[in-house]
Structure 1
Amino acid sequence: MKTTPVLLLILLFSCDKPSLTPASLLEKSIEAHDPNNQWPKLNSRFHMSIKRDGQADRYFSVLINNPEGIFEYALQQGDSTVSQGVRHGEYYVSVNDSSNLNYEIKSKFQLTEERTQYLKEVYEYLYGVPMKLKDTGTIIDPAVVEETFNNQSCWVIKVTYDPSTDGETWYFYIDKETFLLAGYRFYFDESKGDGEFIFVEGYESLNGLQLPKLKKWHWNKDSAHFRTDELLKIE
């Protein structure tokens, strides 16, 4: 069969165009976020604020020390300096540098192992993606779709987790030009339309590691904005 010029161009284009898979897309996004492989070496304290309508602004810091397995969440609450964290698998809590706390004080400041573990998982995850999508137990959907998210043209990766862990479903929106995350969406139970989505606006560079500067949170059910997180300073 004789190959026409038009058919030849189509064949050349299709052979030249690489197929985009979730694995290749994830690698491109990791390269954009952490080109120098700094995430495993990260040992920094993030000073942050949370602003909610009708509530006082909250200022706090988060320490992530990946080489030594240390995490700490600390904030000033009234006259009290409250800290809770994990060192090498051991939980600790303190108020005004004292760890000798009674039940009433622990309840007042939500100083429980469950709360500390929750904070650790949330902040390590949201600062560690997309790198943490290579963690054991992450199930990545084989399809890559396109979607406009926060007025950005994005590739979308769907991620699920085993019900024995948390069973959540996440969608990660990767900017087509920069391969940085434009944001993410998660559901506790997607059939109910619950959960939240987050717009990422701006990045802060730390030794080449790109960390989200501003995160704007919205409810999935009605798209209403309810919270803004800002990274103020890194030490």
Structure 2
Amino acid sequence: MKTYFLIFCLFLVNSCCFSQDITGEQLLDKAIAYHDPEGNWKTFNGTLFITMETPNSGKRDSEVTINLPESYFKLISKRDSLITTHTSDKGACIITKSDSLRIAKQTTKPNRSHCETTELYKNYYTYLYGLPMKLKDPGTNISDKVETKRFKGKDYLTFRVDYDSEVGSDVWCFYFNPTTYAMEIYQFFRTDEQGNIKPDSGEYILLKDEALINHIKMPKIRTWYYNKDDKYLGTDLLMQ
């Protein structure tokens, strides 16, 4: 009986201290092995069908084509009767006739041009749906320290990510299942001019269920909330 009790105690100690025995890069490698075991993201060529639901506006249906080997991106979005297209082909922005007409009819000019918005959409979709593999990109700085944190009543292995100044100024935290290493939450914070985190800024995103796209496990349901007050912002649904 004493032997079994000793083994049980050792198991508890190892479980509690596991986060001290793995680096951020090692945890990332395990997460990538879970989500993209065949290493398919680097040659990803596929189309994602995404429905966005937000509290104060109608749903938006998007068709997102990402072809990484050909540096091609295309987004077709439909909300109510309005359809917009954003295309980037090897870095060149393409404006369709219908979008050209829509832009010409705008009475007030937006803060960003159509092509600037295209680049933002391309970065947005390739980053979020390419996680955690995108954390291998240049300019991404993974913390060596892995911690065990409780979030919404569940324990996770977490690490912090900072980016080189030319990549981004936000600070991200990623939360992984301690058993499977699946990525289940990520969270970002804005920073001030000194690079310090603004605690009441940013958002956290809960990931639920999975869709297998090109043999990559991607989150099927992505729900967004404000950090400061847990206010619900919206949900992205990856359709199959």
The question of a shared fold, defined as TM-score above 0.5 by the shorter chain, is answered with yes
Alignment of 1:71-150 (within 5 A): 71-96=73-98, 103-105=104-106, 107=109, 112-150=114-152
The Cα of 1:192 is off from its aligned counterpart by 4.6
Q: Secondary structure at the match of 1:129?
A: coil
- Superposition misfits of 4+ residues, deviation over 6 angstroms: none
Say if 1:71 and 1:169 are closer, same or farther in 2 by CA, change over 3 A.
same
Alignment of 1:1-235 (within 5 A): 19-96=21-98, 103-105=104-106, 107=109, 112-189=114-191, 190-233=197-240
The Cα of 1:164 is off from its aligned counterpart by 3.0
Distance 1:43 1:175 in 2: 28
2:3 counterpart residue number = none
Distance 1:94 1:188 in 2: 35
Distance 2:156 2:94 in 1: 41
Distance 2:220 2:178 in 1: 20
CA RMSD in angstroms, aligned pairs only = 2.7
Residue segments in structure 2 that go unaligned for 5+ positions in a row: 1-5, 192-196
Please, what TM-score do these two structures have when normalized by structure 1?
Answer: 0.84
Q: Which amino acid in the other structure matches residue 216 of structure 2?
A: L
Q: Secondary structure at the match of 1:200?
A: strand
2:194 counterpart residue number = none
Distance 1:192 1:209 in 2: 33
Q: Which amino acid in the other structure matches residue 216 of structure 1?
A: T
- Number of residue equivalences: 221
Say if 1:182 and 1:79 are closer, same or farther in 2 by CA, change over 3 A.
closer
Distance 1:25 1:118 in 2: 29
